[in-house]
């Protein structure tokens, strides 16, 4: 036996990645449906050695389906997720719509799997922001040992976080640098992204933080510990896939860098590649297509008491989105539905 699974937004970057990961991890599926908006209706997507044709999200009946992995924007999710939930289909939502609802669990399975049982409140589970997901995987095992007081994080986020349009814009602008006869003005981003970095992701808030920075703060508190102080600076960089983060952590108790490395090596979902030699660390190019969150450059911060620095890299389309959603589906099946 397996589960009846729906992938909503199957033609987008994250939706396609969800299908890839469901197949790669051999998720027990009895029946699968792929949905898209009407403008993408009938588009074919790959699922293992099969080719699936997308159905219309507007008219789809979720009755009899066990779970739906949503990879569409907040507006479409707001309309269709409640319909799926009401029909008895558990929604695992990748948008930001439900992340801050106190009744809806926000889950990273390596960090707070116990929250899965709260799905019953609304039949909906939220997937965190991509930059938050990889960071909390690294923070949680360290927090369990020495209790984190404060986190200062600077992100270096790839253009795939802005979808296909962001990836296309980087590609076209890069070519245009070498072919000045073609002008490619910024559309997906606020300024030129090719050979540049942009210290703005999402809109500005009254505080001066961007929405992306606020998300990292709010989500870390909800997933790990509301007492942790977090400040973030989120930057878009000209990398196609893979988010990187420079993380500075202040603990209540002293934590030696060697012990921190050992803790992280034993933690689920983490690979530690940390050699103090040229190239002895992981970069976004090397993490693309991988399931793991990679940790490098672990070292004491001697400028504060009980401080530690580390470098964190992960494939944002995987752990930051599609993989985490599938891991939630696995957790839901294992702990709650128990059909397979």
The per-residue pLDDT for range 49-99, each reduced to its tens digit, is 999 999 999 999 999 999 999 999 999 999 999 999 999 999 999 999 999
Is residue 155 a contact partner of residue 239, using CB atoms and an 8 Å limit?
no
| d(C-alpha 226, C-alpha 217), whole Å | 10
Active site residue 80: no
pLDDT score of 1: 82
| DSSP of 24-69 | HTT--EEEEEEEE-GGGTT-EEEETTEEEE-EEGGG---TT-SEEE
* pLDDT of residue 340 exceeding 80: no
| d(C-alpha 147, C-alpha 144), whole Å | 6
Active site residue 243: yes
pLDDT classification of 11: cutoffs 50, 70, 90: very high
Phi, psi of 236 (to 5 degrees): -90, 130
Is residue 328 a contact partner of residue 92, using CB atoms and an 8 Å limit?
yes
Annotated catalytic residue within 130, 234, 287, 312: 130
Report the predicted TM-score, pTM, of the whole model to 2 decimal places. Answer: 0.94
pLDDT classification of 122: cutoffs 50, 70, 90: very high
* Mean pLDDT, rounded, of the chain: 96
pLDDT score of 37: 86
**How many C-beta atoms surround the C-beta of residue 221 within 10 A?**
14
pLDDT classification of 339: cutoffs 50, 70, 90: confident
Annotated catalytic residue within 89, 143, 234, 243: 243
The per-residue pLDDT for range 275-310, each reduced to its tens digit, is 999 999 999 999 999 999 999 999 999 999 999 999
Choose between 43 and 152: higher pLDDT. Answer: 152
Is residue 284 a contact partner of residue 242, using CB atoms and an 8 Å limit?
yes
Looking only at Cα atoms, what is the longest distance across the chain? Answer: 60
């Amino acid at each position: 036996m397996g589960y009846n699974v729906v992938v909503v937004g199957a033609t987008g970057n994250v939706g396609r990645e969800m299908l890839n990961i469901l197949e790669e991890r051999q998720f027990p599926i009895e029946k699968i449906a792929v949905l898209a908006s009407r403008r993408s209706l009938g588009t074919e997507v790959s699922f293992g050695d099969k080719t699936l044709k997308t159905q219309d999200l507007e008219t789809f009946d979720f009755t009899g389906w066990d779970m739906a992995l949503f990879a569409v924007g907040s507006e479409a999710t707001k309309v269709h997720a409640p319909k799926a939930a009401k029909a008895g289909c558990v929604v695992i939502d990748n948008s930001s719509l439900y992340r801050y609802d106190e009744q809806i669990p926000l889950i990273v399975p390596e960090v707070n799997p116990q929250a899965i049982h709260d799905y019953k409140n609304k039949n909906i589970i939220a997937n965190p922001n991509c930059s938050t997901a990889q960071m909390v995987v690294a923070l949680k095992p360290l927090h369990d040992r020495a209790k984190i007081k404060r986190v200062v994080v600077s992100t270096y986020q790839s253009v795939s976080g802005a979808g296909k349009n962001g990836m296309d814009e980087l590609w076209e602008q890069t070519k245009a640098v070498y072919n000045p006869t073609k002008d490619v003005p910024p559309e997906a981003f606020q300024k030129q992204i090719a050979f540049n970095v942009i210290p703005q992701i999402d809109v500005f808030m009254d505080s001066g933080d961007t929405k992306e920075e606020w998300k990292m703060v709010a989500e870390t508190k909800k997933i790990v510990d509301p007492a942790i102080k977090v400040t973030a600076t989120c930057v878009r960089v000209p990398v196609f896939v893979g988010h990187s983060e420079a993380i500075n952590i202040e603990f209540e108790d002293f934590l030696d860098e060697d012990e921190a490395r050992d803790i992280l090596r034993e933690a689920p979902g983490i690979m530690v590649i940390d050699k103090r030699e040229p190239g002895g660390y992981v970069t976004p190019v090397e993490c693309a297509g991988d399931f793991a969150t990679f940790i490098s450059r672990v070292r004491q911060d001697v400028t504060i008491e009980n401080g530690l620095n580390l470098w964190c890299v992960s494939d944002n389309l995987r752990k930051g989105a599609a993989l985490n959603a599938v891991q939630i589906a696995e957790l839901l099946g294992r702990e709650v539905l128990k059909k397979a």
